[in-house]
Structure 1
């Protein structure tokens, strides 16, 4: 439990430090009952739905414009996952990683997981995430980002993008941290606003503005996230050890 709490504290420290560095802690957002926009903003935004022009979106966009940033397409290459179709599902085999499996802390599994055969997996192995890849959800629960730090025995679905860095000087964990932060989440919310079925378009993903800090600061934040992940793994290892000890005690008693 202590290691688990430490992991959360380290990640929260990274989030808080990033928010402060970006000046978001001093940004007060307005949410008026009514608002208006100009025709030129409608044309430049390429949108006619009112949700896109909410005041708090404009305020955050103005704040972001004062921060050095780069579009995501300049930082990474993209690979969209693939849909195999429900007839391809099997009761066991290789994991078919869906949006619901991808969390900020890792690829999680559960009772509703879907699997594919070994044969199908081998034919689609290029969609298997490798350690160091960055996963980003684009459908349903959009904008969840995770740096793969453990082997994933499966392939990603079409609702997930796999990102590969173009610039190795940009820490992967910093990139994931900032995408999961309010400065990127507001852009994602704005892109997906007004839709009945939430779907983040590839062109909008590519245009996502990523704040670029000094190399020292990005490394510092990345290190906090890495320490958080280490503490999480140690917590899980201790829990597994405790479970095994209990099982051995029960078997010994029987």
Structure 2
């Protein structure tokens, strides 16, 4: 019986829960703790102050990864959870949008995932980029404040309240399903929200607004670095051939590349490589050493205490997220020496070869965890030739992403072979320009880190108001900004 967690519930209490749920997980102690807190604290239900609208089931066959002229950008689960970058949003045609009677997002729209694995279901994010006409699909809900309510100061405050752990745990509890969890109307409407004073809400709104300003500044600086790279590589105005037909003889095709698939020989790929190789450049294998991690297998995964295990879905070019999986302490202990050697150190570039291929991220501190075998570890051979921040930007740019698009194969999951990655061509621009770009990249990540810190302060303040009182929360905000 050691380690067994037991809670005892009276049968009479079952009439107050959704669908008379009686599975043991529903009565996990962390969920019962939330019940206890809101039995003491004043609260309001989601239904009293807010409502939500489901997205439309757009025909995925009509999705495009590139902007369609007069098309609509579609937010999906990965966009809300930020496991996809903004560049990966898909687009649908205006006609498909009209046929499904879709609606457009406006700035400060709150988006919530309605389906997914337990870590992802019920996650929220704010849409603050109205520069591109956008909508959302059926697996996502747009949440908004009701017109006739006066309890919530702003959508930003509602967003941060929905982001706190007590709301997240309620939604995790209410979500139904075995393999994939789903949130229904009754799950969201009964959600208990803390009743916060106007004074605290005003301070929270100001804090979140400052966070979004920093986020906007970060994007501007990062985009400037990208523009400098393309300008120095002579690619800022390059228009690539869109022809889908290219005639090749056997000698110049299969005998050189070993590939017979027609997509590989599209002219745009030849043009991008040709343009890079007409200037100073080198292959990736000459610039970095490449190593890979291990694939322990799902038998060693745990959601309890363990070593963080980072997979491709746990990072993108903008940063790392909390990994969904950990490795069991038994596995870590049995492979202690190997795991210590596999932990990526500061300065390592993570580079994905499976799934979302070609995503590069520079570690700015040692990583307490290991990565999956789908993530390569790149170490710069000579920083006097190429600066890590510059190389990462080049790897994430269309200069390399188009080479990944050309090479990667796989009917369900894309796979980029290590031998192909080694031969990727990278432009080597003037070192002073590299330094200028590196400074911009570091400034952009400093702004991003500050934006994230301010959001965390706001979340923590809400939790303090729930666990203790608002005076403690306000003192914490004053101390942290």
Normalised to the residue count of structure 1, the TM-score between the two structures is 0.92
Partner of 2:122: none
**Structure with the higher fraction of residues in helix conformation:** 1
The question of 1:4 aligning with 2:215 is answered yes
Q: Secondary structure at the match of 1:59?
A: helix
In the alignment, the residues of structure 2 paired with residue 118 and residue 176 of structure 1 have an alpha-carbon distance, to the nearest angstrom, of: 33
Matching residue within 277, 283, 286 for 1:74: 286
Matching residue within 244, 247, 250 for 1:39: 250
1:82-112 CA distance string (max 9 Å, x none): 00011111222111111111210111126xx
| Contact 2:312/2:354 (<8 A) preserved | yes
Partner of 2:442: 226
1:141-167 CA distance string (max 9 Å, x none): 100000011442211111000111111
Partner of 1:64: 276
1:50-85 CA distance string (max 9 Å, x none): 111111112212212212111111111111110001
The question of 1:160 aligning with 2:375 is answered yes
Matching residue within 210, 213, 228 for 2:429: 213
Partner of 1:91: 303
Q: In the TM superposition, what is the alpha-carbon distance from 1:3 to its structure 2 partner?
A: 1.1
| Contact 1:71/1:210 (<8 A) preserved | yes
| Worse overlay, 20-29 or 226-235 | 20-29
In the alignment, the residues of structure 2 paired with residue 53 and residue 187 of structure 1 have an alpha-carbon distance, to the nearest angstrom, of: 11
Partner of 2:320: 107
Q: 1:253 to 1:215 in 2, by over 3 A?
A: closer
Partner of 2:262: 50
In the alignment, the residues of structure 2 paired with residue 70 and residue 33 of structure 1 have an alpha-carbon distance, to the nearest angstrom, of: 28
Q: Secondary structure at the match of 1:40?
A: coil
What RMSD, in angstroms, separates the aligned Cα atoms of the two structures?
A: 1.8
* Rg larger in structure: 2
Which structure would you say has the larger RCO, counting Cα contacts within 8 Å and 6 or more residues apart? 1
| Worse overlay, 176-185 or 124-133 | 124-133
1:165-186 CA distance string (max 9 Å, x none): 1112221111100000011111
Q: Which runs of 5+ in 1 are unaligned?
A: none
The question of 1:146 aligning with 2:358 is answered no
In the alignment, the residues of structure 2 paired with residue 153 and residue 143 of structure 1 have an alpha-carbon distance, to the nearest angstrom, of: 23
Normalised to the residue count of structure 2, the TM-score between the two structures is 0.50
